[in-house]
């Protein structure tokens, strides 16, 4: 069968990068304890006035939490979160085929909040699509001792055709204290409830990366325009 003249370009659309990074040791344990103590103190003081979120129960701080001046929050931001973002972006630049960018703190804009949940509480499916943010991150300070899938973080497969014939293809992460998970902010995700005593305490963040892709608007998930004009 003969073909008519045509031009085309094969691309992969909506790639999903995922980083799972684990921190451990005495210094990490102390950091997690200190952060948990601060977050539980904030819960006791401010829970009554907390805003509604995707959380089904539980407690959320304001999104300015991760930028607090407390030494313990600064330590988390500079020694856990930012190195994790740099790790993720190293892989991102490699996939894009461009030289890596040195991500000094002035190249990152971050907002983040702390979350506390107890038995029966969970987060409904949602994403963090906000103009200019590229990544979402979750760091676990404390997790209950429960049997999977209780307490799991579930990342939904964006390719909906995969639900055909029972092949769903989601990813479940069973977190433990010291785990940092980073994924694109457009990734739909939710947390499974758990039924055992105890608290799950975490810090969730959204990150904007000021690089050449940010300047071009490549990751500003408001709209996507596709044209065949440049196909070759």
- For the domain 19-47+71-216, what is the CATH superfamily, name and number? q2cbj1_9rhob like domain (2.60.120.620)
**DSSP state string for 135-173:** EEEEEEEE-----TTTT-EEEPPS-GGGGGGG----EEE
Distance CA 192, CA 174 (A): 10
Residue 50: other Cβ atoms inside 10 A: 16
C-alpha to C-alpha distances, 63 to 94, 184, 207, nearest whole angstrom: 31, 18, 12
- Residues of the chain under the 70 pLDDT cut: 1-15, 48-55, 160-169, 218-232
Distance CA 165, CA 142 (A): 37
In tens, the pLDDT along 23-63 reads 999 999 999 999 999 999 999 998 766 665 666 788 999 99
* Structure token digits, residue 7: 């031009």
Specify burial of residue 11 (Cβ count, 10 A radius: 0-12, 13-18, 19+).
Answer: exposed
What are phi and psi for residue 155, nearest 5 degrees?
Answer: -100, 120
Its pTM surpasses 0.75: yes
């Amino acid at each position: 069968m003969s073909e008519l003249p045509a031009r085309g370009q094969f691309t992969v659309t909506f790639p999903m990068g995922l980083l799972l990074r684990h921190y451990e040791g005495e210094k990490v344990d102390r950091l997690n304890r200190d952060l948990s103590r601060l977050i539980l103190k904030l819960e006791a003081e401010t829970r009554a006035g907390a805003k509604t979120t995707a959380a089904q129960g539980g407690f959320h701080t304001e999104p300015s939490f991760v930028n607090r001046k407390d030494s313990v929050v600064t330590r988390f931001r500079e020694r856990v979160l930012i190195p994790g973002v740099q790790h993720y972006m190293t892989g991102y630049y490699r996939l894009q085929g461009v030289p890596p960018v040195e991500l000094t703190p002035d190249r990152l804009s971050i907002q983040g909040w702390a979350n506390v949940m107890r038995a029966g509480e969970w987060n409904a499916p949602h994403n963090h699509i906000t103009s200019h943010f590229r990544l979402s991150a979750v760091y676990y300070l404390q997790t209950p001792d429960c049997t999977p899938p209780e307490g799991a973080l579930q990342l939904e497969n964006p390719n909906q055709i995969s639900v055909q014939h029972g092949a769903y293809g989601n990813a479940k992460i069973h977190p433990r204290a010291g785990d940092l998970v980073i994924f694109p902010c457009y990734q739909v995700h939710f947390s499974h409830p758990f039924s055992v005593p105890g608290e799950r305490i975490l810090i969730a963040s959204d990150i904007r990366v000021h690089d050449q892709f940010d300047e071009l608007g490549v990751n500003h998930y408001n709209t996507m325009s596709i044209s065949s004009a440049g196909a070759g």
